[in-house]
Structure 1
Protein backbone atom coordinates (compact mmCIF):
# COMPACT_ATOMS: atom_id res chain seq x y z
CA UNK A 1 0.00 0.00 0.00
CA UNK A 2 1.20 3.51 -0.82
CA UNK A 3 -0.03 7.05 -0.27
CA UNK A 4 -0.48 9.56 -3.05
CA UNK A 5 -2.54 12.37 -4.54
CA UNK A 6 -4.82 12.18 -7.58
CA UNK A 7 -3.55 14.73 -10.12
CA UNK A 8 -5.67 13.74 -13.12
CA UNK A 9 -8.94 11.90 -13.83
CA UNK A 10 -9.65 10.75 -17.38
CA UNK A 11 -11.82 8.03 -18.93
CA UNK A 12 -12.30 6.10 -15.70
CA UNK A 13 -8.61 6.19 -14.75
CA UNK A 14 -7.06 8.13 -11.88
CA UNK A 15 -3.44 9.21 -12.11
CA UNK A 16 -1.89 9.20 -8.66
CA UNK A 17 1.28 11.12 -7.83
CA UNK A 18 3.36 9.29 -5.25
CA UNK A 19 6.82 10.72 -4.71
CA UNK A 20 8.21 11.30 -8.22
CA UNK A 21 6.10 8.56 -9.83
CA UNK A 22 2.64 8.77 -11.39
CA UNK A 23 0.61 5.55 -11.23
CA UNK A 24 -2.47 4.87 -13.34
CA UNK A 25 -5.21 3.52 -11.09
CA UNK A 26 -8.84 2.50 -11.12
CA UNK A 27 -11.27 3.02 -8.27
CA UNK A 28 -12.49 0.02 -6.31
CA UNK A 29 -16.05 -1.11 -6.91
CA UNK A 30 -16.88 -0.36 -3.28
CA UNK A 31 -16.70 3.38 -4.07
CA UNK A 32 -19.48 3.02 -6.64
CA UNK A 33 -21.62 1.09 -4.17
CA UNK A 34 -21.17 3.91 -1.66
CA UNK A 35 -21.85 6.52 -4.36
CA UNK A 36 -18.38 7.98 -3.78
CA UNK A 37 -16.29 9.22 -6.70
CA UNK A 38 -12.53 9.83 -6.36
CA UNK A 39 -11.69 13.43 -7.24
CA UNK A 40 -8.61 15.20 -8.49
CA UNK A 41 -6.92 16.56 -5.37
CA UNK A 42 -7.89 13.58 -3.22
CA UNK A 43 -5.26 12.09 -0.94
CA UNK A 44 -5.56 8.35 -1.37
CA UNK A 45 -4.14 4.97 -0.38
CA UNK A 46 -3.51 2.78 -3.43
CA UNK A 47 -2.11 -0.63 -4.31
CA UNK A 48 -0.10 -1.33 -7.47
CA UNK A 49 2.40 -3.74 -8.96
CA UNK A 50 3.58 -1.34 -11.66
CA UNK A 51 3.01 2.18 -12.97
CA UNK A 52 0.10 1.13 -15.22
CA UNK A 53 -1.97 -1.10 -12.94
CA UNK A 54 -3.16 0.16 -9.61
CA UNK A 55 -6.29 0.34 -7.48
CA UNK A 56 -7.37 3.09 -5.14
CA UNK A 57 -8.18 1.42 -1.84
CA UNK A 58 -9.04 4.39 0.36
CA UNK A 59 -9.91 8.07 -0.04
CA UNK A 60 -8.73 10.18 2.88
CA UNK A 61 -11.02 12.83 4.42
CA UNK A 62 -11.39 15.99 2.33
CA UNK A 63 -11.11 19.52 3.69
CA UNK A 64 -13.37 20.79 0.88
CA UNK A 65 -14.65 19.88 -2.56
CA UNK A 66 -16.41 21.41 -5.52
CA UNK A 67 -18.99 19.70 -7.72
CA UNK A 68 -18.29 21.78 -10.83
CA UNK A 69 -15.41 21.56 -11.40
CA UNK A 70 -15.02 18.21 -9.56
CA UNK A 71 -11.95 18.73 -7.39
CA UNK A 72 -11.05 18.41 -3.71
CA UNK A 73 -8.66 19.82 -1.09
CA UNK A 74 -8.28 23.23 -2.72
CA UNK A 75 -6.36 26.05 -1.03
CA UNK A 76 -7.50 28.85 -3.31
CA UNK A 77 -9.54 29.56 -6.40
CA UNK A 78 -8.26 31.84 -9.14
CA UNK A 79 -11.54 33.17 -10.51
CA UNK A 80 -10.75 34.09 -14.09
CA UNK A 81 -13.09 36.61 -15.73
CA UNK A 82 -12.57 38.43 -18.98
CA UNK A 83 -12.95 42.17 -19.35
CA UNK A 84 -14.31 41.59 -22.87
CA UNK A 85 -15.21 38.74 -25.23
CA UNK A 86 -17.15 37.55 -23.25
CA UNK A 87 -18.16 40.72 -21.41
CA UNK A 88 -17.36 41.07 -17.71
CA UNK A 89 -20.22 39.69 -15.59
CA UNK A 90 -20.29 40.92 -11.97
CA UNK A 91 -23.31 38.74 -11.19
CA UNK A 92 -21.52 35.57 -12.30
CA UNK A 93 -18.40 36.66 -10.41
CA UNK A 94 -20.46 37.17 -7.24
CA UNK A 95 -21.96 33.71 -7.68
CA UNK A 96 -18.48 32.19 -7.96
CA UNK A 97 -17.28 34.16 -4.94
CA UNK A 98 -20.24 33.01 -2.86
CA UNK A 99 -19.75 29.34 -3.72
CA UNK A 100 -16.00 29.30 -3.02
CA UNK A 101 -16.47 31.28 0.22
CA UNK A 102 -19.04 28.68 1.32
CA UNK A 103 -16.43 25.97 0.77
CA UNK A 104 -13.74 27.79 2.79
CA UNK A 105 -11.63 28.37 -0.30
CA UNK A 106 -9.71 31.63 -0.61
CA UNK A 107 -10.73 33.46 -3.81
CA UNK A 108 -8.43 35.55 -6.02
CA UNK A 109 -10.04 37.56 -8.83
CA UNK A 110 -8.15 37.60 -12.14
CA UNK A 111 -9.54 39.81 -14.89
CA UNK A 112 -8.08 38.93 -18.28
CA UNK A 113 -8.04 40.47 -21.78
CA UNK A 114 -7.60 44.01 -20.46
CA UNK A 115 -5.68 44.78 -23.67
CA UNK A 116 -9.05 44.69 -25.50
CA UNK A 117 -10.54 47.59 -23.53
CA UNK A 118 -10.92 51.19 -24.59
CA UNK A 119 -9.98 53.81 -21.95
CA UNK A 120 -13.70 54.32 -21.18
CA UNK A 121 -14.33 50.59 -20.79
CA UNK A 122 -11.30 50.26 -18.54
CA UNK A 123 -12.67 52.98 -16.22
CA UNK A 124 -15.88 51.00 -15.82
CA UNK A 125 -13.99 47.81 -14.98
CA UNK A 126 -11.81 49.71 -12.51
CA UNK A 127 -14.97 50.88 -10.68
CA UNK A 128 -15.86 47.25 -10.02
CA UNK A 129 -12.27 46.41 -9.10
CA UNK A 130 -12.13 49.17 -6.49
CA UNK A 131 -15.29 47.79 -4.96
CA UNK A 132 -13.98 44.23 -4.69
CA UNK A 133 -10.67 45.40 -3.26
CA UNK A 134 -12.48 47.55 -0.68
CA UNK A 135 -14.11 44.41 0.79
CA UNK A 136 -10.81 42.56 0.98
CA UNK A 137 -10.51 40.62 -2.26
CA UNK A 138 -7.26 40.36 -4.20
CA UNK A 139 -7.81 41.49 -7.79
CA UNK A 140 -5.32 41.27 -10.64
CA UNK A 141 -5.57 42.74 -14.13
CA UNK A 142 -3.99 40.43 -16.70
CA UNK A 143 -3.28 40.15 -20.38
CA UNK A 144 -1.94 36.91 -21.80
CA UNK A 145 -1.25 38.74 -25.07
CA UNK A 146 0.99 41.43 -23.58
CA UNK A 147 2.04 39.54 -20.43
CA UNK A 148 0.78 42.35 -18.19
CA UNK A 149 0.27 41.23 -14.59
CA UNK A 150 1.08 37.55 -15.21
CA UNK A 151 4.26 37.52 -13.09
CA UNK A 152 2.25 38.69 -10.07
CA UNK A 153 0.44 35.33 -10.04
CA UNK A 154 3.53 33.20 -9.28
CA UNK A 155 3.88 34.19 -5.58
CA UNK A 156 0.18 33.45 -5.08
CA UNK A 157 0.40 29.83 -6.21
CA UNK A 158 3.59 28.78 -4.40
CA UNK A 159 3.04 25.84 -2.01
CA UNK A 160 -0.70 25.78 -2.75
CA UNK A 161 -3.26 23.77 -4.67
CA UNK A 162 -5.10 26.30 -6.79
CA UNK A 163 -8.03 25.88 -9.12
CA UNK A 164 -8.73 28.09 -12.13
CA UNK A 165 -12.46 28.63 -12.45
CA UNK A 166 -14.52 30.71 -14.82
CA UNK A 167 -16.85 30.44 -17.78
CA UNK A 168 -15.68 29.25 -21.17
CA UNK A 169 -13.61 31.58 -23.26
CA UNK A 170 -12.34 33.91 -20.54
CA UNK A 171 -8.72 32.90 -21.09
CA UNK A 172 -7.97 30.26 -18.45
CA UNK A 173 -5.92 28.10 -20.82
CA UNK A 174 -4.16 31.16 -22.25
CA UNK A 175 -3.27 32.24 -18.70
CA UNK A 176 -1.83 28.81 -17.95
CA UNK A 177 0.21 28.93 -21.14
CA UNK A 178 1.55 32.35 -20.07
CA UNK A 179 2.51 30.95 -16.67
CA UNK A 180 4.07 27.82 -18.14
CA UNK A 181 4.69 28.14 -21.92
CA UNK A 182 5.82 24.51 -22.28
CA UNK A 183 2.30 23.31 -21.45
CA UNK A 184 0.98 24.38 -24.88
CA UNK A 185 -2.62 23.91 -23.75
CA UNK A 186 -5.08 24.15 -26.62
CA UNK A 187 -7.07 27.39 -26.80
CA UNK A 188 -10.02 28.38 -28.98
CA UNK A 189 -11.62 31.56 -30.23
CA UNK A 190 -14.85 33.03 -28.91
CA UNK A 191 -18.01 32.14 -30.80
CA UNK A 192 -19.41 35.41 -32.15
CA UNK A 193 -22.83 33.80 -32.51
CA UNK A 194 -23.08 32.52 -28.94
CA UNK A 195 -20.95 35.18 -27.26
CA UNK A 196 -19.03 32.62 -25.28
CA UNK A 197 -16.02 30.40 -25.64
CA UNK A 198 -15.66 26.83 -26.76
CA UNK A 199 -14.64 24.23 -24.21
CA UNK A 200 -10.98 23.48 -24.81
CA UNK A 201 -10.24 21.65 -21.55
CA UNK A 202 -11.94 18.25 -21.31
CA UNK A 203 -10.76 16.96 -17.97
CA UNK A 204 -9.51 18.18 -14.60
CA UNK A 205 -5.77 17.95 -14.06
CA UNK A 206 -3.30 19.35 -11.51
CA UNK A 207 -0.33 20.92 -13.26
CA UNK A 208 3.01 21.75 -11.66
CA UNK A 209 3.48 25.50 -12.14
CA UNK A 210 6.13 27.41 -10.25
CA UNK A 211 6.14 26.13 -6.69
CA UNK A 212 2.53 24.96 -6.64
CA UNK A 213 -0.11 22.80 -8.30
CA UNK A 214 -2.76 24.45 -10.44
CA UNK A 215 -5.89 22.75 -11.76
CA UNK A 216 -6.94 23.42 -15.31
CA UNK A 217 -10.66 22.69 -15.36
CA UNK A 218 -13.39 22.39 -17.99
CA UNK A 219 -15.07 25.74 -18.63
CA UNK A 220 -18.54 26.30 -17.26
CA UNK A 221 -20.95 29.20 -17.18
CA UNK A 222 -23.04 28.75 -14.05
CA UNK A 223 -22.89 27.49 -10.51
CA UNK A 224 -25.73 26.26 -8.33
CA UNK A 225 -26.02 26.31 -4.56
CA UNK A 226 -26.77 22.62 -3.90
CA UNK A 227 -25.50 22.46 -0.32
CA UNK A 228 -25.95 26.04 0.88
CA UNK A 229 -28.86 27.09 3.07
CA UNK A 230 -30.29 30.60 3.07
CA UNK A 231 -28.91 31.13 6.60
CA UNK A 232 -25.39 30.49 5.28
CA UNK A 233 -25.55 33.02 2.46
CA UNK A 234 -24.71 36.18 4.49
CA UNK A 235 -21.38 34.64 5.50
CA UNK A 236 -20.34 34.40 1.85
CA UNK A 237 -20.59 38.17 1.32
CA UNK A 238 -17.86 39.76 3.52
CA UNK A 239 -19.41 43.22 3.65
CA UNK A 240 -22.88 41.86 4.41
CA UNK A 241 -21.46 39.72 7.20
CA UNK A 242 -19.61 42.76 8.61
CA UNK A 243 -22.59 45.12 8.65
CA UNK A 244 -24.95 42.31 9.64
CA UNK A 245 -23.31 42.17 13.07
CA UNK A 246 -25.10 45.47 13.83
CA UNK A 247 -28.58 44.27 12.91
CA UNK A 248 -31.31 44.51 15.57
CA UNK A 249 -32.17 40.82 15.43
CA UNK A 250 -29.84 37.87 15.68
CA UNK A 251 -30.17 35.72 12.60
CA UNK A 252 -31.28 38.63 10.39
CA UNK A 253 -31.25 37.55 6.76
CA UNK A 254 -31.22 41.16 5.51
CA UNK A 255 -34.28 40.84 3.29
CA UNK A 256 -37.42 42.20 5.02
CA UNK A 257 -36.39 42.49 8.67
CA UNK A 258 -36.96 45.88 10.41
CA UNK A 259 -33.92 47.88 11.48
CA UNK A 260 -31.59 45.91 9.21
CA UNK A 261 -28.09 47.42 9.34
CA UNK A 262 -27.23 45.86 5.98
CA UNK A 263 -30.13 47.58 4.19
CA UNK A 264 -29.13 50.86 5.85
CA UNK A 265 -25.57 50.36 4.59
CA UNK A 266 -26.92 49.81 1.08
CA UNK A 267 -28.97 53.02 1.28
CA UNK A 268 -25.93 54.99 2.50
CA UNK A 269 -23.70 53.55 -0.22
CA UNK A 270 -21.41 51.65 2.18
CA UNK A 271 -22.53 48.43 0.47
CA UNK A 272 -22.80 48.64 -3.28
CA UNK A 273 -26.32 48.23 -4.61
CA UNK A 274 -25.39 45.64 -7.24
CA UNK A 275 -23.81 43.40 -4.61
CA UNK A 276 -26.95 43.53 -2.47
CA UNK A 277 -29.11 42.89 -5.54
CA UNK A 278 -27.10 39.75 -6.27
CA UNK A 279 -27.39 38.69 -2.62
CA UNK A 280 -31.18 38.98 -2.88
CA UNK A 281 -31.20 37.01 -6.15
CA UNK A 282 -29.16 34.19 -4.62
CA UNK A 283 -31.32 34.19 -1.47
CA UNK A 284 -34.50 33.73 -3.52
CA UNK A 285 -32.84 31.03 -5.62
CA UNK A 286 -31.90 29.07 -2.51
CA UNK A 287 -35.31 29.55 -0.88
CA UNK A 288 -37.11 28.42 -4.03
CA UNK A 289 -34.83 25.46 -4.64
CA UNK A 290 -36.68 22.19 -4.91
CA UNK A 291 -35.77 19.79 -2.09
CA UNK A 292 -33.73 16.77 -3.05
CA UNK A 293 -34.52 13.40 -1.55
Structure 2
Protein backbone atom coordinates (compact mmCIF):
# COMPACT_ATOMS: atom_id res chain seq x y z
CA UNK A 1 0.00 0.00 0.00
CA UNK A 2 1.30 3.51 -0.81
CA UNK A 3 2.32 5.89 1.96
CA UNK A 4 1.92 9.67 1.76
CA UNK A 5 1.46 12.85 3.75
CA UNK A 6 -1.79 14.76 4.32
CA UNK A 7 -1.17 18.28 3.02
CA UNK A 8 -4.75 19.62 3.25
CA UNK A 9 -8.00 18.83 5.06
CA UNK A 10 -11.22 20.38 3.78
CA UNK A 11 -14.92 19.48 4.03
CA UNK A 12 -14.30 15.89 5.17
CA UNK A 13 -11.68 15.19 2.50
CA UNK A 14 -7.97 14.65 3.10
CA UNK A 15 -5.53 15.46 0.32
CA UNK A 16 -2.59 13.05 0.41
CA UNK A 17 0.68 13.86 -1.36
CA UNK A 18 2.72 10.94 -2.65
CA UNK A 19 5.50 11.02 -5.27
CA UNK A 20 4.42 14.20 -7.02
CA UNK A 21 0.67 13.48 -7.02
CA UNK A 22 -2.17 14.50 -4.69
CA UNK A 23 -4.95 12.03 -3.91
CA UNK A 24 -8.34 13.09 -2.54
CA UNK A 25 -9.17 10.65 0.26
CA UNK A 26 -11.75 10.03 2.94
CA UNK A 27 -10.97 8.63 6.38
CA UNK A 28 -12.18 5.13 7.20
CA UNK A 29 -15.11 4.83 9.60
CA UNK A 30 -12.85 3.01 12.06
CA UNK A 31 -11.14 6.32 12.85
CA UNK A 32 -14.45 7.80 14.05
CA UNK A 33 -15.08 4.76 16.25
CA UNK A 34 -11.59 5.10 17.73
CA UNK A 35 -12.10 8.88 18.06
CA UNK A 36 -9.05 9.54 15.90
CA UNK A 37 -9.06 12.41 13.42
CA UNK A 38 -6.53 12.47 10.59
CA UNK A 39 -4.54 15.72 10.75
CA UNK A 40 -2.67 17.77 8.19
CA UNK A 41 0.96 16.64 8.48
CA UNK A 42 0.03 13.03 9.22
CA UNK A 43 1.98 10.31 7.43
CA UNK A 44 -0.62 7.81 6.28
CA UNK A 45 -1.07 4.54 4.43
CA UNK A 46 -3.81 4.93 1.85
CA UNK A 47 -5.53 3.16 -1.03
CA UNK A 48 -6.64 4.98 -4.17
CA UNK A 49 -8.11 3.80 -7.47
CA UNK A 50 -7.44 7.24 -8.93
CA UNK A 51 -6.63 10.79 -7.78
CA UNK A 52 -10.27 11.49 -6.86
CA UNK A 53 -11.25 8.38 -4.90
CA UNK A 54 -9.08 7.18 -2.08
CA UNK A 55 -9.27 6.00 1.51
CA UNK A 56 -6.87 6.51 4.39
CA UNK A 57 -6.26 3.09 5.94
CA UNK A 58 -3.74 3.85 8.68
CA UNK A 59 -2.25 6.88 10.43
CA UNK A 60 1.43 6.45 11.28
CA UNK A 61 2.67 7.38 14.75
CA UNK A 62 2.94 11.14 15.29
CA UNK A 63 5.98 12.81 16.83
CA UNK A 64 3.73 15.67 18.00
CA UNK A 65 0.38 17.29 17.31
CA UNK A 66 -1.51 20.50 17.91
CA UNK A 67 -5.30 20.69 18.06
CA UNK A 68 -5.55 24.46 17.59
CA UNK A 69 -4.37 24.65 14.83
CA UNK A 70 -4.99 20.98 13.93
CA UNK A 71 -1.65 19.86 12.48
CA UNK A 72 0.81 17.02 13.24
CA UNK A 73 4.51 16.19 12.90
CA UNK A 74 5.67 19.78 13.11
CA UNK A 75 9.38 20.59 13.16
CA UNK A 76 9.05 24.21 14.21
CA UNK A 77 6.53 26.96 14.93
CA UNK A 78 7.00 30.43 13.47
CA UNK A 79 5.21 32.47 16.14
CA UNK A 80 4.03 35.68 14.56
CA UNK A 81 3.33 38.76 16.63
CA UNK A 82 2.72 42.19 15.17
CA UNK A 83 4.70 45.13 16.49
CA UNK A 84 1.55 47.23 16.07
CA UNK A 85 -2.05 46.87 14.75
CA UNK A 86 -2.69 44.86 16.93
CA UNK A 87 -0.15 46.06 19.49
CA UNK A 88 2.66 43.70 20.54
CA UNK A 89 1.61 41.55 23.49
CA UNK A 90 4.22 39.73 25.56
CA UNK A 91 1.52 37.77 27.38
CA UNK A 92 0.06 36.43 24.12
CA UNK A 93 3.53 35.60 22.76
CA UNK A 94 4.42 33.83 26.03
CA UNK A 95 1.20 31.82 25.84
CA UNK A 96 2.16 30.63 22.34
CA UNK A 97 5.69 29.89 23.52
CA UNK A 98 4.43 27.81 26.47
CA UNK A 99 2.23 25.73 24.17
CA UNK A 100 4.94 24.99 21.62
CA UNK A 101 7.54 24.31 24.34
CA UNK A 102 5.11 21.87 25.99
CA UNK A 103 4.67 20.08 22.64
CA UNK A 104 8.46 19.95 22.07
CA UNK A 105 8.26 22.10 18.95
CA UNK A 106 11.14 24.47 18.15
CA UNK A 107 9.87 28.08 18.17
CA UNK A 108 11.04 31.01 16.04
CA UNK A 109 9.63 34.42 17.02
CA UNK A 110 8.71 36.66 14.08
CA UNK A 111 7.68 40.27 14.71
CA UNK A 112 5.79 41.84 11.79
CA UNK A 113 4.79 45.36 10.66
CA UNK A 114 8.07 46.91 11.80
CA UNK A 115 7.68 49.58 9.10
CA UNK A 116 4.65 51.06 10.92
CA UNK A 117 6.59 51.97 14.06
CA UNK A 118 7.88 55.34 15.16
CA UNK A 119 11.58 55.50 16.07
CA UNK A 120 10.70 55.43 19.78
CA UNK A 121 8.32 52.45 19.44
CA UNK A 122 10.90 50.62 17.32
CA UNK A 123 13.40 50.97 20.15
CA UNK A 124 10.91 49.40 22.58
CA UNK A 125 10.23 46.43 20.25
CA UNK A 126 13.95 45.87 19.65
CA UNK A 127 14.55 45.85 23.41
CA UNK A 128 11.92 43.09 23.76
CA UNK A 129 13.57 41.21 20.86
CA UNK A 130 16.91 41.38 22.67
CA UNK A 131 15.33 40.05 25.88
CA UNK A 132 13.83 37.04 24.10
CA UNK A 133 17.12 36.38 22.29
CA UNK A 134 18.90 36.45 25.68
CA UNK A 135 16.58 33.62 26.80
CA UNK A 136 17.74 31.63 23.77
CA UNK A 137 14.94 32.22 21.26
CA UNK A 138 15.50 33.07 17.61
CA UNK A 139 13.83 36.41 16.77
CA UNK A 140 13.30 37.82 13.27
CA UNK A 141 12.01 41.38 12.70
CA UNK A 142 10.02 41.74 9.47
CA UNK A 143 7.93 43.99 7.29
CA UNK A 144 5.97 42.25 4.54
CA UNK A 145 5.23 45.63 2.96
CA UNK A 146 8.91 46.63 2.71
CA UNK A 147 10.40 43.13 2.32
CA UNK A 148 12.38 43.56 5.53
CA UNK A 149 13.64 40.36 7.18
CA UNK A 150 12.27 38.05 4.47
CA UNK A 151 15.71 36.82 3.38
CA UNK A 152 16.59 36.13 7.01
CA UNK A 153 13.39 34.15 7.66
CA UNK A 154 13.51 31.94 4.53
CA UNK A 155 16.49 29.75 5.60
CA UNK A 156 14.63 28.74 8.78
CA UNK A 157 12.08 26.93 6.57
CA UNK A 158 14.57 24.72 4.71
CA UNK A 159 13.76 21.01 4.92
CA UNK A 160 11.21 21.47 7.69
CA UNK A 161 7.48 21.42 8.32
CA UNK A 162 6.72 24.76 9.94
CA UNK A 163 3.48 26.04 11.38
CA UNK A 164 2.79 29.76 11.09
CA UNK A 165 0.75 30.67 14.15
CA UNK A 166 -0.41 33.92 15.68
CA UNK A 167 -3.34 36.05 16.66
CA UNK A 168 -5.77 37.18 13.95
CA UNK A 169 -4.59 40.28 12.12
CA UNK A 170 -0.85 39.96 12.78
CA UNK A 171 -0.12 39.47 9.09
CA UNK A 172 0.50 35.73 8.64
CA UNK A 173 -0.91 35.61 5.11
CA UNK A 174 0.90 38.82 4.12
CA UNK A 175 4.14 37.33 5.38
CA UNK A 176 3.62 34.11 3.43
CA UNK A 177 2.85 36.14 0.31
CA UNK A 178 6.12 38.05 0.84
CA UNK A 179 8.02 34.75 1.25
CA UNK A 180 6.38 33.27 -1.85
CA UNK A 181 4.44 35.82 -3.96
CA UNK A 182 2.76 33.25 -6.24
CA UNK A 183 0.75 31.93 -3.25
CA UNK A 184 -1.50 35.00 -3.55
CA UNK A 185 -3.18 34.23 -0.22
CA UNK A 186 -6.12 36.39 0.76
CA UNK A 187 -5.40 39.09 3.31
CA UNK A 188 -7.72 41.53 5.02
CA UNK A 189 -7.48 44.77 6.91
CA UNK A 190 -7.80 45.10 10.65
CA UNK A 191 -11.40 45.55 11.74
CA UNK A 192 -11.47 49.04 13.26
CA UNK A 193 -14.61 48.17 15.21
CA UNK A 194 -13.12 45.10 16.91
CA UNK A 195 -9.47 46.13 16.77
CA UNK A 196 -8.47 42.76 15.39
CA UNK A 197 -8.07 41.08 12.04
CA UNK A 198 -10.78 39.33 10.12
CA UNK A 199 -10.15 35.61 9.65
CA UNK A 200 -8.80 35.15 6.14
CA UNK A 201 -7.54 31.55 6.43
CA UNK A 202 -10.36 28.99 6.62
CA UNK A 203 -8.54 25.67 6.67
CA UNK A 204 -5.12 24.21 7.40
CA UNK A 205 -2.93 23.42 4.40
CA UNK A 206 0.76 22.62 3.94
CA UNK A 207 2.20 24.98 1.36
CA UNK A 208 5.60 24.60 -0.33
CA UNK A 209 7.59 27.70 0.67
CA UNK A 210 11.33 27.99 0.11
CA UNK A 211 12.71 24.48 0.57
CA UNK A 212 10.16 23.42 3.16
CA UNK A 213 6.45 23.04 3.89
CA UNK A 214 4.51 25.66 5.82
CA UNK A 215 1.11 25.27 7.49
CA UNK A 216 -0.87 28.47 7.08
CA UNK A 217 -3.41 28.23 9.89
CA UNK A 218 -6.63 30.01 10.81
CA UNK A 219 -6.00 32.92 13.15
CA UNK A 220 -7.26 32.76 16.70
CA UNK A 221 -7.04 34.98 19.74
CA UNK A 222 -7.40 32.61 22.71
CA UNK A 223 -5.23 29.65 23.64
CA UNK A 224 -6.21 27.46 26.54
CA UNK A 225 -3.58 25.63 28.59
CA UNK A 226 -5.71 22.49 28.76
CA UNK A 227 -3.09 19.73 28.90
CA UNK A 228 -0.38 21.35 31.02
CA UNK A 229 -0.20 20.49 34.72
CA UNK A 230 1.03 22.97 37.35
CA UNK A 231 4.32 21.15 37.94
CA UNK A 232 5.04 21.04 34.17
CA UNK A 233 4.64 24.77 33.54
CA UNK A 234 8.04 26.13 34.58
CA UNK A 235 9.74 23.73 32.12
CA UNK A 236 7.97 25.67 29.37
CA UNK A 237 9.93 28.81 30.38
CA UNK A 238 13.59 27.97 29.55
CA UNK A 239 15.09 30.57 31.89
CA UNK A 240 12.85 29.44 34.78
CA UNK A 241 13.71 25.81 34.08
CA UNK A 242 17.43 26.60 34.17
CA UNK A 243 17.18 28.60 37.40
CA UNK A 244 14.97 25.99 39.08
CA UNK A 245 17.89 23.54 39.15
CA UNK A 246 19.24 25.66 42.02
CA UNK A 247 15.95 25.77 44.00
CA UNK A 248 16.20 24.24 47.47
CA UNK A 249 13.07 22.14 47.09
CA UNK A 250 12.48 19.67 44.29
CA UNK A 251 9.11 20.36 42.68
CA UNK A 252 9.31 24.05 43.67
CA UNK A 253 6.46 26.00 42.03
CA UNK A 254 8.33 29.30 42.61
CA UNK A 255 5.54 30.82 44.67
CA UNK A 256 6.22 31.10 48.41
CA UNK A 257 8.83 28.38 48.81
CA UNK A 258 12.03 29.43 50.62
CA UNK A 259 15.37 29.61 48.80
CA UNK A 260 13.72 29.67 45.36
CA UNK A 261 16.30 30.41 42.66
CA UNK A 262 13.62 31.59 40.23
CA UNK A 263 12.40 34.33 42.57
CA UNK A 264 16.03 35.24 43.24
CA UNK A 265 16.59 35.49 39.48
CA UNK A 266 13.71 37.94 39.16
CA UNK A 267 15.23 40.06 41.95
CA UNK A 268 18.66 40.16 40.30
CA UNK A 269 17.23 40.89 36.82
CA UNK A 270 18.40 37.58 35.32
CA UNK A 271 14.71 36.73 34.75
CA UNK A 272 12.45 39.39 33.23
CA UNK A 273 9.69 40.32 35.74
CA UNK A 274 6.97 40.21 33.05
CA UNK A 275 7.95 36.63 32.16
CA UNK A 276 7.66 35.60 35.81
CA UNK A 277 4.32 37.46 36.09
CA UNK A 278 3.03 35.54 33.07
CA UNK A 279 4.19 32.29 34.66
CA UNK A 280 2.19 33.17 37.78
CA UNK A 281 -0.88 34.08 35.69
CA UNK A 282 -0.71 30.83 33.73
CA UNK A 283 -0.14 28.83 36.93
CA UNK A 284 -3.23 30.40 38.49
CA UNK A 285 -5.22 29.60 35.35
CA UNK A 286 -4.10 25.95 35.45
CA UNK A 287 -4.92 25.61 39.15
CA UNK A 288 -8.39 27.13 38.64
CA UNK A 289 -9.14 24.94 35.62
CA UNK A 290 -12.15 22.75 36.04
CA UNK A 291 -11.25 19.04 36.08
CA UNK A 292 -12.05 17.06 32.95
CA UNK A 293 -13.46 13.55 33.18
User: TM tier, shorter chain?
Assistant: over 0.9
Aligned to 2:101: 101
Q: How many residues end up aligned between the 2 structures?
A: 293
- Superposed CA RMSD in Å reads 0.6
- CA drift of 1:269 comes to 1.0
**1:18 pairs with 2:4:** no
User: Offset of 1:154 from its aligned partner?
Assistant: 1.4
Q: Please give the residue correspondences for 1:151-230 in structure 2 after superposition, counting only pairs within 5 Å.
A: 151-230=151-230
Q: Does 1:56 align with 2:72?
A: no
SS at match of 1:177: helix
Deviations 1:218-238 (A, max 9, x none): 001121111111111111000
1:47 pairs with 2:47:
yes
Deviation readout 1:108-161 (Å, 9 max, x if unpaired): 000000000001111111121111000100000000000000111111000000
TM-score between both structures, scaled by the size of structure 1: 0.99
1:99 and 1:255 map into 2 onto residues whose CA distance is 21
SS at match of 2:159: coil
CA deviation after TM superposition for structure 1 residue 267, in Å: 1.1
Structure-2-length-normalised TM-score: 0.99
Q: Which residues of structure 2 form unaligned runs of 5+?
A: none
Q: Deviation per CA, 1:217-261: give whole Å up to 9, x if none.
A: 000112111111111111100000011100001111111211101
Task: Note if 1:121 corresponds to 2:95.
Answer: no
Q: Whole-Å Cα distance in 1 between the matches of residues 70 and 204 of structure 2? A: 7
- CA distance in structure 2 between the partners assigned to 1:221 and 1:150 by the alignment: 25
- Aligned residue number for residue 77 of structure 2: 77
> Separation in 2 of the partners of 1:106 and 1:262?
23
Unaligned runs of 5+ in 1: none
> 1:9 is matched with which residue?
9
Give the alignment of 1:256-275 within 5 angstroms: 256-275=256-275
| Matched residue, 2:132 | 132
Distance in 2 (CA, whole Å) between partners of 1:171 and 1:203 is 16
Which SS does the other structure have where 2:131 is aligned? helix
Shift of 1:15: 0.2
3-state SS of 1:267 partner: helix
Aligned twin of 1:143: 143
Secondary structure class of the residue paired with 1:276: helix
Could you tell me how far apart the structure 2 residues matched to 1:88 and 1:153 are?
19
Could you say what secondary structure the match of 1:50 adopts?
A: coil
Report the equivalent of 1:34: 34
4+ residue segments displaced more than 6 Å = none
Paired residue secondary structure (1:98): helix
Instruction: Give the deviation of 1:268 after TM superposition.
Output: 1.2
Q: What displacement does 1:201 show?
A: 0.3
